Amino acid sequence: MPPLLPPTARTLLARTARAQRDGRVPALVAGVVRDGELVWSTGRGEIAEPHHDVQYRLGSISKIVTAVTVLRLRDEGLLDLDDPLDKHLPGTPLGGRTVGQLLSHLAGAGSESPGQWWERTPGTTLEGLGLSPADVVLPAARRFHYSNLGFGLLGALVARARGRAWDEVARDEVLAPLGMTRTTSRPSGVAAQGYAVHPWADVVQIEPEHDAGVMAPAGQLWATAADLARLGAFLLGDTGGVLSPSTVEEMTVPAGIDSSAPTWSSYGLGVQVQRVGNDPARPGPVLVGHGGSMPGFLAGLWVDREEGTGALALANTTSGLDGGLPAGLLADLRAAEPRVVDAWTPSGSPVPLELLGPWYWGPSPYVLRAVPDGLLHLSGLGRPGRSSRFRPCPDGTWLGLDGYHAGETLRLGPQALNLATFVFTRTPYDPAAPVPGGVDGAGWGDLS
């Protein structure tokens, strides 16, 4: 793969250097992923070399790995995302909440586990947490509420299903297959020391490190920049057989927000999803990844799936680092070396051409197009309208993939398209088509 151009590398270095200085970060490693590889990285501050092989605590980036272990169970048919937690991990006050709600922080679980702050004190077992109804703080599916506790429970579910510790499952089923051999549940080999930096003086204090027990799946993993870059490549589609590309795509679908809005932030299944940018007229890219924090450490991993790029940052400080550093690196890379897309070539149509083109939902014009990958796309014509892509099903119908009609079935016919009781016709309210409620016999005319 071609290396970054020298001016691009200098721009990335300048942004990283400023983040390390302004944030007063003892040690900062940053990197950029392109074409599935770590194509640029740097270390600033008190850095051991090679900087890309020093472990840092990932914090909540660990949740991506936890989600992958859960989704592997789902893909094997051992659970369903609509299953209540009690079906696989009985005896908790959140037993009626679903696996999918826990993965997307919609289960109403408390943000933290009961007892002392789990990030700074040695962990315990699930039974040792002593969960009670007080750990259910919101109704199910009512609103997004970030929950470390929920991911601790998901890790316990995985451990119960596999019959061994969650970190062993993560190592054997996710990390090792992806080649992330320097990612561990406790520091191993060359690892950074975590510090707190005094807010009013340039002095530091060592932060504690411990085994978080049942809460480890929420934030305990340690990794190097090289390994974190491999996780970024995974999110970009190089799944290494750990999950199917379609399941990774499913992880990135936002839950509980309108993803057509110019800017937004949401959560998928174990990943954060956000549209960046401040200009509603020119929406920025959608980034997928996660931030992470634990005492003594801050981290971030974000990928731009459209550009095929990713950026990461690892720092050994409790606070101070600009959390927007990875997004800034991606913006620099997009501006300096934008992706050159593949040339367009004719790819045919998955349906007869006479079914494509304008259709009408009542008087509103829509257009049905054939788009790459054998899909159909239905959208408003010349004005905003509900827009969705559809993939073919074995029975000849089409399944909505996104937008308003996600999960709905589209049936094609020469006179009408049938979609979730909506009937699209070749002319507005075509009297020859099965328009719901019928068509007035007088037809179109003026008000006289």
Rg of the Cα trace of the chain?
Answer: 25
CA distance 99 to 86: 10
The domain 24-338 is classified under which CATH number: 1.10.1070.11, 1.20.1600.10, 3.40.710.10, 3.30.479.30?
3.40.710.10
Chain segment 130-173, per-residue pLDDT in tens:
999 999 999 999 999 999 999 999 999 999 999 999 999 999 99
Determine the Cα–Cα distance for residues 258 and 17; give it in Å rounded to an integer.
36
Residues 81 and 256: their CA atoms lie apart, in Å, by 16
203-225 confidence digits (pLDDT tens): 999 999 999 999 999 999 999 99
Could you state, in order of their start, the residue ranges of all structural domains in the chain?
A: 24-338, 353-425
To 5 degrees, how large is the angle CA 250–CA 252–CA 257? 105
At 259 the pLDDT is 65
386 — alpha (psi -120 to 50), left (phi > 0) or beta?
beta
> What's the rounded Cα separation, in Å, for the pair 436 and 268?
36
User: Which of the residues in the chain have pLDDT under 70?
Assistant: 1, 258-262, 280-281
Prediction pTM value? 0.92
| Nearest one of 236, 250, 271 to 75, comparing CA atoms | 250
Residues contacting 176, CB < 8 A, separation 6+: none
Which pLDDT belongs to residue 448? 77
User: According to the model, what pLDDT value does residue 364 have?
Assistant: 94
* CB atoms near residue 410 (< 10 Å): 23
CA–CA separation, 67 and 65 (whole Å): 5
pLDDT at 280: 65
DSSP assigned state of 109: B
